[in-house]
Structure 1
Amino acid sequence: MTRHHQEMLKVYRLDVVIHVQNPDRITAFLASRKVRLPTGMSPIKEPLTVEDRNKVLLDNLTFGEDDAFEGYCAALREEEKLYWLADTLEGPGLSVDLREQLMRHQIVLVEKMDPDITLAHLSKQKVFTEAMTEYVSSADSREEKNRRIVHLLQSRDDPDFFTFCEALRENQGQAHLWDLLQGKTRSEATGQQVDATGHGVDSERMEETQREDSHQVERQPAETPRSHLAMTADGGAIGDQRREGEPIPMQLSLADPSIRSGTSAVVRTGLPVILTVNGEVDDAHWLLNNESLPLNKGIHTRTSGLTHELEIDNMTSDLAGTYTCQGTTPKGAMLSCDIKLTLLDPSPSLSSS
């Protein structure tokens, strides 16, 4: 199986686990097409739950040939009637840079986007198939529709991403989201927000907009550093202060819980912080000092494929401590990663600079 097809199965793994109702019928369908998988073609019955059987089938599928992927998509259509999921898996997929750009702003898009206008444009321009459009429309809330739009958009090609941006730009009420995806920032010289035409927005409007949309961290000054944390595959940590416009470091990987990762970083008060973890786990969740995350503190989490992120809008003293990302592998093993954030006390030299 090609690496691209393997990646698509990983990105949409949770969708398969949730929506496929009868993995044994899919296995039988593949057998009828003489598709060979590493474990043979007998129905998978040892795991007790449907979800577990889906996970085992996906794990086996990724080691198959291209005919395994093609047969699986055909089975989704013929056996499960999940036309939208098959259409999604067969998509070419966004390039890495555009996918990261999209997911970096997922929170704001889900909260602020008009799903009906956006979906109508994507459907008209053939970005989404009819089945994908129906799946998005079937969501029972505005936010869920937006989440599905962003999630499915990852499976489309790069020109489709710019069609999506065009849909935001053409709708006056969503133009600020287009600006966000284009990386619009304040003019450092004037302290004003620069809009799409290059005209400044006065500071009172800017402050009001920031209060209303605290998640738009790109509205920080162009030279304001954002705190990111990275870890190498062997657990070595790298803490850095990244300036706007510089590449985001590679994400850290989940480690065996018997070897605590012990990653640490020093961050400044008032700055946004993003912690990013890579790992093939289900039900990824975050803790702060071994307790649930505090509510209403400007902390947001999101998962896309193998990437799990925690974003802090503004770092404060009560948010310092050890953050733990935990999850369970497809085979049931628990993995976790610790990240200790320490607050940097501002010194006179820092505050005067």
Structure 2
Amino acid sequence: MKKKIALTGGGTAGHVSLNQAIIPSLIENNYEVMYIGSRDGIEKELISENFPTLPYASISSGKLRRYFSLENISDSFRVVKGVFDSIQILIKNKPDVIFSKGGFVSVPVAIAAKLLRIPLLIHESDVTPGLANKIAMPFAKHIFTVFHETLEYVDQSKATCSGAVIREELLVGNRLNALKKVGFSGNKAVLFVMGGSQGSDVLNGAIRSNLSILQNTYDIIHLCGKDKVSKEHQFIDGYVQIEYVSEGLNDLLHLADVVVSRAGSNSIYEFLALRIPMLLIPLSAQKSRGDQVLNAQLFEKQGFALVLQEEELSPEAFLEKVQQLEERKSHMRQVMEQSEMPKTPRQMVELIEKYQ
């Protein structure tokens, strides 16, 4: 008899990527899988695109804010409606366990899970829990963390540092396929730039303002975000702009010699697993809860990355940091080689089975 699991999480690609990674392993382990997400969030787009036959159930959800806003009032009603939506979905589908990756859409599902006494497992990727996971954690049977430091912020009696999980296909890439896709000769080192699923205007600007100098050393693959391709820079040899990669990311990463990126937990652990030296420009604490700043600091402390804070970002400071990255990349790779490899999706599924 098949076991049933409901996955939830959304708002950003980071709240979906782990769920995407473990779906094939869950199916291999005889699970009947469904996804609960918002009606128009990125999670619906990613799940529908990558798993078109997977059942997807939509619920009402509201954005959770740490600051005062009149929208918090209307969004609180959306969350309440989302709880009722979730209850109906869970009663109909009767999952044996729910696995939540966080994001605002997961809160109504977590509350419904508690009301219906369905075991809830939560995964937290960042050093400090996000607001959605903070709200949901009291309802959880078990909490998985990526960082050991996160255990200080959760109920340790029901928490495990499981480490990072990356998709197995990322470990196998074809450089020739990537060269063909981007049209590079392969004679230069490759700088890979990634500003998160939404792209980063400040990072995009830093790259483009230094493009002529950077191209003396690198060919550049620039994941710039949806609708953020620069027409001015569209036909420059050795510089390729891509809005978002849904297929072939593994090939592109295996072509990268160094990377410049935001500091989302999922991405930086993928770079670490592939031993790609990185310059991290975390999302400013003024624009977020500061989770990326902490992620970046820990990676810098361990010797995996250089860090440039967004408040200190200028074309000159950026170029200086990239030059330092080039000088230190060999040593960084040596340090990375001594680090523990992230878990595979199969190993994560084993943990889900152990703690449900």
Give 1 or 2: higher strand fraction.
1
- TM-score (norm: length of structure 2): 0.27
**Greater C-alpha Rg:** 1
TM-score normalised over the length of structure 1: 0.27
The higher-RCO structure (CA 8 Å, 6+ apart) is 2
**Between Structure 1 and Structure 2, which shows a larger proportion of helix residues?**
2
